[in-house]
A and B are shown apart, each in its own frame.
Chain A
Amino acid sequence: QSALAQPRSVSGSPGQSVTISCTGTTSDVGRYAYVSWFQQHPGKAPKLMIYDVTKRPSGVPDRFSGSKSGNTASLTISGLQADDEADYYCCSYTARFTYVFGTGTQVTVL
């Protein structure tokens, strides 16, 4: 099972919006509405930001939103803030009853 493809890095200025893509296949992202996104600051455990493609856990700002089209899921961060600078990973359920993570994207706030 190959990792989901994410851009290595994205950047934006404070207040801007950035979008991170997560490309899989018809056996994972394209097949199920079970895509999640995680934020990870250096040396910390990942934090769930989005699950079930579009849902936000309690406490996650509505600046974070998720979507999916075909085999590609996306995470959009609006109103970029300094604390959003972190690594972001997507994850999808797969047809083999397993999970596959993305390659990870480093978000830089300029």
Chain B
Amino acid sequence: QVTLKESGPALVKPTETLTLTCTFSGFSLDTGAMRVSWIRQPPGKALEWLARIDWDDDKFYSTSLKTRLTISKDTSKNQVVLTMTNMEPADTATYFCVRMSSYSSFDPWGQGILVTVSS
């Protein structure tokens, strides 16, 4: 059974750096064609793709956010980490990590973690 779970702070202050960890089980990011993406959803709004890391350590970022994002993996811990710098209130959202076994197969999703940006 494949599962993913996001962890990190529920509250960050403006200008701080957010670090989120996705801990997964049931698959390995060492396996060819496996990928993990981060996606967020502000309250009451649509989904927004943020970043993707592949089994071969290729990394891809949202064009509008790429200067603020860094994605990395630790295959020994079965974890993917996303950092987002210079957080602002507009970044308040539920952040999801999701496994990808092909270019459009986002499945399954983690439960999500709500991050609020406020002073």
- How many residues on chain A are close to B (CB under 8 Å)? 28
Q: Is B109 a contact partner of A45 (Cβ separation < 8 A)?
A: yes
| Tier of interface size on chain B | 20 to 34
Interface pair B105/A51, CB less than 8 Å apart:
yes
Q: Most B CB atoms within 10 A — which of A45, A89, A97, A104?
A: A45
Which stretch from B9-17, B55-63, B72-80 is at the chain A interface? B55-63
Q: With A45-B96, A93-B104, A96-B63 given, is the CB distance from A101 to B49 under 8 Å?
A: yes
User: Which residues does chain A contribute within 8 Å of B103, judged by CB atoms?
Assistant: 32, 34, 52, 93
A30 at the interface (CB under 8 A from B): no
Is B70's CB within 8 Å of the partner chain A?
A: no
| Docked CA distance A1–B62 (Å) | 9
Interface contacts (Cβ under 8 Å), in number, total 69
Q: Are B46 and A98 in contact (CB-based, < 8 A)? A: no
Given that A45-B96, A45-B112, A103-B46 are known contacts, is A97 also in contact with B106, CB under 8 Å in the complex?
no
Query: Quick check: is A15 within 8 A (CB to CB) of the other chain?
Result: no
* Pair B102/A52 contact, Cβ less than 8 Å: yes
CB distance from B18 to the nearest CB of A (A): 19
Q: Is A109 an interface residue (CB 8 A)?
A: no
Render B11-48 as a binary contact track against A, CB cut-off 8 A, 1 for contact: 00000000000000000000000000101000000111
Contact sample, A vs B, 8 pairs, CB 8 Å cutoff: A45-B109, A51-B104, A91-B49, A91-B104, A98-B49, A98-B63, A102-B46, A103-B46
